[in-house]
Chain A
């Protein structure tokens, strides 16, 4: 199924763990602990601190506590978007969750630019994603090149491509062992081997499990 954020989606929890740069507007009593750079008990106005998105997103957009700073990465991409030159940006290096993080910050952007940027960026890069999923020659590690949403799409493309290549070459219609069973067998062989070598705790990391 396609990624669609819900209460239980782990990616959404990872995105909302990301930190957001905020300027404190009013004194916030007994919240000094949020400011790593100071020892004061209260959070003093004027300070700039990083707060988790899971907290920021619960506040009203026009709350009086903080002003949210729009991350540079979206401004930097803005120029490339206008020149339709986003294909070769290594988005994963800018931010692992470039799109989803940007989506959450969109309402806090005074001049309403982020929403448009992430929409345009993905639109321009999808053709590129389609091509590289067909013949992924580009060796640089995918994490750098693609953000989380893109690597999911890329994986889907590669999976389909492999299925088609196998089908066209008449391979792949045998019934095969279930992945979990296979993985379990491999783990079992590793554990037995570490048992035979009498190396006790050596062998597989999970060998702390006693084989009865």
Chain B
């Protein structure tokens, strides 16, 4: 899944806006939204908030974690901890990206926030790198990835799972050849793993 799909999924999470118009509640398929009362905050999906903000129909209320002090703390904690710490939102990067690009002036000290969030993302990316290394060295075929958000997981995709697939294939090959030296198949689960021996198979009319 490339980032635009992860953004599409992340856009579903709710965010508070302050509309400058009023309207009855809307019964969308995924659920109801509103009622909208000018000047009063209301929760809407992020994709709708971004659209309304671009049309200057509302102001976006940044989520409570999107402020400098909280983010600095998260950054320090992330630096300190060997493991991935829990992020304030499952889609913190998508929310940050959308809110700050659609309505920078709704977000106090927006530029500073942008850098802190990017730092947090970079710290976690390099932590992901080193944990991958340990994981591969440990000959594991399984690993826990708690607290990693979707966007971070997909930043090493498909190269990580593809590499693990090949490593596993060659591992199976190495152990299989230790056990028996039967004739070769294309691959153990592949089409003709049972390539029949030559002598009896050819051109039976």
Contacts and interface: CB of A to CB of B under 8 A. Distances in A.
A122 B158 contact: no
B3 A122 contact: no
B166 to A, nearest CB: 6
A72 B169 CA distance: 23
Given A61-B183, A107-B177, A127-B136, A153 B198 contact: no
Interface string A130-173: 11010000000000000001001110110010011001101011
A132 to B, nearest CB: 11
Contacts of B101: 170
Contacts of B181: 61-62, 107
Contacts of A62: 181
Q: Interface size class for chain B?
A: 35 or more
Given A4-B187, A149-B166, A129 B3 contact: no
A168 B167 CA distance: 31
Nearest to A155: B159
A7 B195 CA distance: 12
Nearest to A84: B137
Nearest to A57: B184
A66 to B, nearest CB: 13
Contacts of A106: 173-174, 177
A119 interface: yes
A59 interface: yes
Contacts of A12: 186
Interface stretch (A33-41, A108-116, A187-195): A108-116
Contacts of B178: 112, 115
Given A106-B174, A115-B178, A5 B187 contact: yes
B75 to A, nearest CB: 18
B7 interface: yes
B158 A107 contact: no
B204 interface: no
Main secondary structure, interface of B, reads: helix
A83 interface: no
Contacts of B160: 130
B166 A122 contact: yes
A23 interface: no
A131 B192 CA distance: 36
Given A119-B167, A127-B129, A160 B173 contact: no
A164 B171 CA distance: 32
Contacts of B158: 2, 156, 160
A197 interface: no
Nearest to A9: B186
B174 A60 contact: no
A3 B190 CA distance: 12
B203 interface: no
Contacts of A156: 158-159, 162
B129 A130 contact: yes
Most buried by B among A61, A109, A126, A133: A126
Contact of A115 (B7, B174, B192): B174
A103 B159 CA distance: 21
A131 B167 CA distance: 18
Contacts of B157: 160
B59 to A, nearest CB: 21
Contacts of B159: 129-130, 133, 153-154, 156-157, 160
Interface of A: 2-7, 12, 57-62, 99, 103-104, 106-107, 109, 112, 115-116, 118-119, 122-123, 126-127, 129-131, 133, 149, 152-154, 156-157, 160, 163-164, 167-168, 170, 172-173
12 contacts: A57-B195, A58-B195, A60-B198, A109-B177, A112-B174, A126-B167, A130-B129, A153-B166, A154-B159, A168-B97, A170-B97, A170-B101
State the 8 A-B residue pairs at the shortest beta-carbon distance, nearest first.
A115-B174, A167-B3, A157-B159, A119-B170, A126-B163, A2-B162, A106-B177, A127-B133
